[in-house]
Amino acid sequence: MATAKKILIIDDDPDIVEAMKMPLESHGYEVVSASSGQEGLSTLVKESPDLIILDVMMESTTEGFQVAYAIRSDAPGSAYAKFRKIPILMVTAINQVMKTKFSKETDAEYLPVTEFIEKPIQPADLLNKVASLLVKA
């Protein structure tokens, strides 16, 4: 078997991390996690994952976005240049709270993430999306 794909989960809710980690690990993925944006970025550099699962609302309502922008930044000398093209799966419950609907079609230009998944996490949905993002990448 080829080396397991590595997934980085950045989420401040340990129960949500667990709910994603469990099915992913049972399907042979290697999972690392971080509980804040800053920790997530340093783990990214250290672990070089194949995919990031990013929570939209961490401590501030914009932390998730800031992490995504930092990774996608094309500023010269960006510390994350290596990961600019990494698939990002954004976890959110926000589109049910706010009127704005986040989706690939409407926000691709503004939100540099590849795919969205909603809370509560449905394991089958999560596994499907992760698999298809990794195939494309």
Footprint of other proteins (CB under 8 A): 13-16, 18-20, 22-23, 26, 57, 59, 93, 97, 119-124
DSSP class of residue 13?
-
CA 23 to CA 109: how far, in whole Å? 31
Q: 1 or 124, CB closer to other proteins? A: 124
- Cα–Cα dist 137/134, whole Å: 5
**Nearest distance, CB of residue 39 and other proteins, angstroms:** 12
Work out how close the CB of 46 gets to other proteins at its nearest, in angstroms, rounded to a whole number: 21
Distance CA 137, CA 124 (A): 20
Nearer to other proteins, 26 or 106 (CB): 26
In the complex, minimum distance from the CB of residue 65 to other proteins, in angstroms, rounded to a whole number: 16
* Cα distance between residue 107 and residue 43, in whole Å: 26
